[in-house]
């Protein structure tokens, strides 16, 4: 095959794109990946999941040192934050992981083009690449193309606020991950995942954080009872929530921002903070791809329309990840990346969207999969409930991490697990067991009767599963 001809070209190197490229290479396709940024890994690795988790861990260690080390009999004098070092560590974590992707591309003989990719003229099999830091264009040919260009932030203007993101006073997550000074106060617009995670980081480091959420509660996808437990725990740490409130105006002052906020009673209150973080979601990113010219259809929300095989209305052009429908999550994009490669090779692939897990990396962590109690009621499905508190778990007690609980919902007739939600220490890790059990169509009894080493946080899952049929031992 000529050098500029490929079997598959993937546009975008986020978790969807790079995973797809690796799977394509494994399947024997001559594969290329096009990335507009100088570093691979997309939003997740560079300015999303990974740097935020690095800062969440650093800030949690600081918070623990101040608030909980004493309980363990550890006394530290003069605890202080060196923000520069904290940020450098975070940057190093990002660098090692993005370099790791470069290594994986080489190892799998995937050709990387650093530049902006777009469909060339009116053709669907030619990609033009505007090479990074260079005036050069390159045109490559491909049999199939996978669009994995991800998403971009929803701006204040998108929600009717007449200010620009300036990176100083009005910021988005990119900036909140790299602040040079700890702000005295921060107003966060949006009580979603970014609001809670980055709100937690700065709250732990000493910032007074207020989160404004337009809906009646945070994380509306989570089971109602568990939502309350999570919110109360975050409130105890100092996060302030204004629910069913809406920011209607932002005015920049010299060193602060004045936010006008509409209350549920239609009154207007004003809050002045050093910075405002806009975290109201993300929108698909298709800029510059030339999709209009070649005729790829988008839906009314700007997401690329695909069928059940991730194929667009144009044969041989596929799309995955944030740019199509579904939750904007790295692991959802990864599953689609592997599946679309398998489909291209074998015409068979499947993603079980019902079991896509959701995790919020606050502390305690919040994690869930499957259906909430509210959803089961809405669908008229009869269920049993099992719960268990971390407070009654030996490992959690030993760690001094006793906040939160597990809740399991299982079908009343068959005992099949329908939903699991966890608020507690390492909920993100614990949830994995539930996802696997559900993937195999497991029942609450299956989970409850499986060996769990002792003492272990996962025993909380076992006990909650036993509690579904009122057989919990330590309850």
Among 7, 35, 125, 197, binds ligand NAI (CB under 6 A): 197
**CA–CA gap between residue 333 and residue 326 (Å, rounded):** 9
Give the Cα separation of 309 and 315 in Å (integer). Answer: 11
282 interacts with ligand NAI by CB under 6 A? yes
Rounded to whole angstroms, the Cα distance separating 240 from 231 reads 10
- Cα 278–Cα 83–Cα 57 angle in degrees, nearest 5: 75
- Which one of 74-82, 323-331, 336-344, 385-393 is the stretch in contact with ligand NAI (CB under 6 A)? 323-331
The answer to whether 5 contacts ligand NAI (rule: CB under 6 A) is no
Asked about 67 being catalytic, the answer comes back as no
- Nearest approach in angstroms of CB 47 to ligand NAI is 10
Minimum separation from the CB atom of position 406 to ligand NAI (A)? 19
CA distance 194 to 187: 13
| DSSP string for residues in 299-353 | -TTSPBP--TTSB-SSTTEEE-GGGSSS---HHHHHHHHHHHHHHHHHS-----G
Q: What gap in Å lies between CA 162 and CA 250, rounded to an integer?
A: 7
User: According to the binding rule CB under 6 A, does residue 261 interact with ligand NAI?
Assistant: no
Residue with tokens 């623990």: 64
User: Of 179 and 472, which has the nearer Cβ to ligand NAI?
Assistant: 179
Site string for ligand NAI, 30-49 (x = CB under 6 A): -------------------x
The DSSP letter of residue 392 is G
Rounded to whole angstroms, the Cα distance separating 375 from 126 reads 45
Length of the chain, in residues: 475
Closer to ligand NAI at the Cβ: 261 or 447?
A: 261
Residues from 349 through 408 that contact ligand NAI (CB under 6 A)? 359-361
Shortest reach from residue 129's CB to ligand NAI, in Å: 27
Residue 444 touching ligand NAI (CB under 6 A): no
User: How many residues of this chain interact with ligand NAI, rule: CB under 6 A?
Assistant: 26
CB of 472 to ligand NAI, least distance (A): 30
Per-residue exposure over 399-429, b if at least 16 CB sit within 10 Å of its own CB, e if not: bebbbbbbbbbbbeeebbbbbbbbbbbbbbe
Residue 191 or 364 having the CB closest to ligand NAI: 191
Would you count residue 15 as binding ligand NAI (CB under 6 A)? Answer: no
Q: How far is the CB of 161 from ligand NAI (least distance, A)?
A: 8
Interface stretch with ligand NAI, choices 62-70, 251-259, 277-285, 308-316 (CB under 6 A): 277-285
- Contact between 177 and 198 (Cβ < 8 Å): yes
Residue 238: DSSP 8-state:
T
Asked if residue 328 binds ligand NAI (CB under 6 A), the reply is yes
Q: Assess 243 for contact with ligand NAI (CB under 6 A).
A: no
Taking the least distance from each CB to ligand NAI, the nearer of 115 and 321 is: 321
Residue (of 54, 60, 133, 150) closest to 95 by Cα position? 54
Alpha-carbon distance of 355 to 302, in angstroms, equals: 25
189 vs 323, which CB is nearer to ligand NAI?
A: 189
Contact flag: residue 202 with ligand NAI (CB under 6 A): no
Single out the residue of 115, 156, 183, 190 in contact with ligand NAI (rule: CB under 6 A): 190
Q: Does residue 462 touch ligand NAI according to CB under 6 A?
A: no
Binder among 193, 294, 344, 369 for ligand NAI (CB under 6 A) = 193
Which residues from 121-160 bind ligand NAI, rule CB under 6 A?
159
In degrees and rounded to multiples of 5, residue 102 shows phi and psi of: -55, -45
Report how far apart the first and last C-alpha atoms of the chain are (Å, whole number): 66
Residue 329 sits in the site that holds ligand NAI (CB under 6 A): yes
Q: Which is nearer to ligand NAI, 34 or 367 (CB)?
A: 367
Q: What are phi and psi of 187, to 5 degrees?
A: -105, 130
Residue of 67, 68, 72, 454 marked catalytic: 454
Nearest CA to 358 out of 389, 329, 326 is that of: 329
213 touches ligand NAI by CB under 6 A? yes
**Per CB under 6 A, does 211 bind ligand NAI?**
no
Interface with ligand NAI includes 461 (CB under 6 A)?
no
Residue numbers at the binding site for ligand NAI (CB under 6 A): 49, 159, 189-195, 197, 212-215, 246-247, 279-282, 327-329, 359-361
Residues taking part in catalysis: 454
């Amino acid at each position: 095959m000529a050098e500029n001809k490929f079997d598959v070209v993937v546009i975008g190197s986020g978790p969807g794109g790079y995973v797809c490229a690796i799977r394509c290479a494994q399947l024997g396709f001559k594969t290329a990946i096009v990335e507009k940024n100088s570093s691979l890994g997309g939003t997740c690795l560079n300015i999303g999941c990974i740097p935020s988790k690095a800062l969440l861990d650093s800030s949690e260690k600081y918070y623990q040192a101040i608030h909980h080390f004493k309980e363990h009999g550890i006394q530290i004098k003069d605890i202080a934050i060196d923000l520069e070092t904290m940020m450098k560590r975070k940057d190093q974590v990002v660098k090692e992981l993005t370099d790791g992707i470069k290594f994986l591309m080489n190892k799998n003989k995937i050709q990387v083009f650093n530049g902006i990719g777009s469909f060339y003229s009116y053709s669907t099999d030619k990609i033009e690449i505007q090479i990074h830091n260079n005036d050069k264009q390159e045109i490559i040919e491909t049999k199939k193309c996978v669009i994995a260009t991800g998403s971009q932030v929803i701006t204040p203007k998108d929600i009717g606020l007449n200010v620009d993101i300036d990176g100083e006073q009005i910021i988005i997550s990119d900036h909140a991950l790299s602040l040079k000074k700890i702000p005295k106060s921060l107003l966060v617009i949006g009580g979603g995942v970014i609001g809670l995670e980055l709100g937690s980081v700065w709250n732990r480091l000493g910032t007074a954080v207020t989160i404004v959420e337009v809906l009646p509660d945070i994380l509306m996808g989570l089971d109602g009872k568990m939502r309350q437990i999570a919110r109360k725990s975050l409130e105890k740490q100092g996060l302030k929530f204004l629910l069913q409130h809406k920011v209607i105006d932002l005015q920049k002052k010299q060193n602060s921002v004045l936010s006008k906020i509409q209350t549920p009673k239609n009154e207007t209150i004003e809050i002045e903070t050093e910075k405002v973080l806009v975290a109201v979601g993300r929108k698909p990113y298709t800029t510059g791809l030339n999709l209009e010219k070649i005729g790829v259809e988008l839906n009314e929300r700007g997401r690329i329309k695909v069928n059940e095989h991730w194929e667009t209305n144009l044969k041989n052009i596929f799309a995955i990840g944030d740019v199509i429908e579904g939750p904007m999550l790295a692991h959802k994009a990864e599953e689609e990346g592997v599946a679309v490669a398998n489909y291209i090779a074998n015409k068979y692939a499947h993603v079980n969207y019902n079991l896509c897990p959701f995790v919020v990396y606050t502390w305690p962590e919040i994690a869930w999969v499957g259906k909430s109690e509210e959803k089961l009621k809405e669908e008229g499905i009869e269920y049993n409930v099992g719960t268990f508190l971390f407070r009654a778990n030996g490992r959690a007690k030993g760690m001094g991490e006793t906040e939160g609980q597990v809740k399991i919902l299982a079908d009343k007739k068959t005992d099949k697990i329908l939903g699991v939600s966890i608020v507690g220490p390492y909920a993100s890790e614990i949830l994995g067991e539930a996802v696997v059990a559900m993937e195999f169509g497991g029942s609450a009894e299956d989970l409850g009767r499986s060996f769990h080493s002792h003492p272990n946080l996962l025993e909380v899952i076992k006990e909650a599963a036993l509690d579904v049929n009122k057989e919990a031992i330590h309850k």
